[in-house]
Each structure stands twice: as C-alpha cells, then as structure tokens.
Amino acid sequence: MAAVVVMVGLVLAMAVAFAGFLSERNAARRRAIEARKRQILADAMRTKALLDREAFRAARAMTEAAQRARRR
C-alpha cells in the first residue's frame, strides 16, 4: 500500500514539474513576442518620423518655389 502512495506521489510530482516547465516555456515565448512587437513599433515610428521629415521638406520646397515664382 505504501508503495502505491509513493508511486502516486511521484507521478503527481512529475506532473507538477512538467506543468511548470510548460508554463515557463509559454512565458518565454510571450516575452519573445512582446519584444518583437516593441521592435516592430519602434521601426514603424522611426519610418514615420523619416516620412514626416521628407513630407515637410517637400512642402517647404514647394512653398519656396511658389514664392520665387510670385517674385518674378
């Protein structure tokens, strides 16, 4: 009888350890996904800043060209 109790205890301990392993693996995967999302967002913000800068330069160039055309 004691051997059965010990075996059941060992099986339960292994099940708990395996559940902990899966939980840690899922947590690591979630951390990796969050890091990738932050990287994508940072890249998008950098791209938007570059595009905004180019749009501002183009608008300023058009304004200056229009002013030069009016002066003539």
pTM confidence score: 0.58
Q: Does 71 score more than 90 pLDDT?
A: no
State the Cα torsion 54-58-60-64 to the nearest 10°: 150
Q: Does 34 score more than 90 pLDDT?
A: yes
Mean pLDDT of 23-45: 95
pLDDT band, residue 46 (cuts 50/70/90): very high
The label of the residue with tokens 């996904």 reads 33
